[in-house]
């Protein structure tokens, strides 16, 4: 009887560990206290800012993007579109009431593409409106990040 109970407990513990390890989001220790309304507000502002940045990137002269090659110009324009789509997705999930655990992966996807775009943005010779629009995007990313990552 004791062997059966121990076996059940060990099996249950193993299952709990496996489920815990399968989680996609890190533990919430050290993060900003979750505020659904505030995070949703930041995400909505971020979505609008990424749309504005995408518009300014589209208006840039091709030879000012990257080192002047058409491929690099296309790459930054493509990244601008993806950043905008990812931000819109995150804002939509948050507006629908999804919390941190449900929106962690969309946040991570957005963060990765923003980091990539930041590298491309820094290599390009861009007009002031594009630089200012990007500064708004990065400022809002800094505001939302503490809710998801340290």
pLDDT digits (tens, 9 = 90+) for 108-150: 999 999 999 999 888 888 899 999 999 999 999 999 999 999 8
23 phi and psi angles, rounded to 5 deg: -60, 140
pTM of full prediction above 0.75 = yes
Which are the contacts of 90, defined by CB distance < 8 A and separation ≥ 6?
Answer: 43, 46, 47, 103, 106, 107, 110
So what's the pLDDT on residue 94? 98
So what's the pLDDT on residue 62? 65
Which residues, given as ranges, of the chain have pLDDT below 70?
Answer: 1-28, 62-74
Ordered domains of the chain (ranges, CATH)? 36-147 (1.20.120)
């Amino acid at each position: 009887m004791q062997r059966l109970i121990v076996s059940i407990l060990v099996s249950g513990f193993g299952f709990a560990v496996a489920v815990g390890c399968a989680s996609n989001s890190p533990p919430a220790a050290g993060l900003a206290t979750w505020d659904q309304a505030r995070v949703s507000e930041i995400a909505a502002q971020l979505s609008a800012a990424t749309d504005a940045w995408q518009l300014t990137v589209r208006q840039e002269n091709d030879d000012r993007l990257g080192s002047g090659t058409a491929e690099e110009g296309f790459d930054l324009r493509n990244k601008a579109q993806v950043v905008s789509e990812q931000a819109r997705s995150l804002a939509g999930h948050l507006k629908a009431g999804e919390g941190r655990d449900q929106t962690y992966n969309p946040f991570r996807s957005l963060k990765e593409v923003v980091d990539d775009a930041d590298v491309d943005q820094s290599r390009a010779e861009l007009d002031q409106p594009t630089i200012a629009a990007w500064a708004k995007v990065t400022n809002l990313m800094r505001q939302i990040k503490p809710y998801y990552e340290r």
